[in-house]
Structure 1
Amino acid sequence: MTQYAILLYTPAPADFADLPVEEQEAHMRHEADVEALGGRIVKGYALHSSSTATSVRGDTVTDGPFIEAKEVIAGFYILEARDLDHALEISKLNPATWRGGVEIRPLLG
């Protein structure tokens, strides 16, 4: 099985606690959806609000993401799937697609 990083995007600013309860519950059930399709979540993490971020660009350090950001990364997980088509099938079920989106990237190695 191939491993993919699944990056979860949501409109900025975002906080998991601000989502409607049904969306929070759907996120919690997503792992069962993945397993039902023959994939496996290796490990996943939700991130604190983007207001807690610090960005480094060269020698410049700034608080938070760039102000013009329309979406922020809300979390990520490592998915094991047969191939990219399988990872896409699984990712389309992710509740993050309801108001934001997901990015699927194969891991090197």
Structure 2
Amino acid sequence: MPMEQETMTFLINGIGAVIVIFFLTVMYLLFFFRKGRSFRWVYGMVLAFIFFLVISILNLKEAIGIDYKHPMASEEITYRLGLSGLLFSASLLFLLVGLLLIPYPKAKLHKK
């Protein structure tokens, strides 16, 4: 699969940064978990996570299936891989927001 020269470096660094942020957030929740829950927001964030993850995977599947004899194949594959990475990051952002909403009481979320 032809790609631009810097694509793998960007993918490795981007996925690594997202995983580190995700890991640090989970560790924060593990050590500073508070009682009280607001599950409606959590369900919405998890559904958004699943939606963006599915779109990311479908876009990645299209990137892998591009004909390498196409004149602009490397640019097209790089674009699709980058878009998949952004969608993957957005999906994990929604999941992190959902996880961060778990420890807070419902009354605290709806203050005016």
TM-score w.r.t. the length of structure 1 is 0.31
Indicate the structure with greater helix content: 2
Q: Which structure is larger by alpha-carbon Rg, 1 or 2?
A: 2
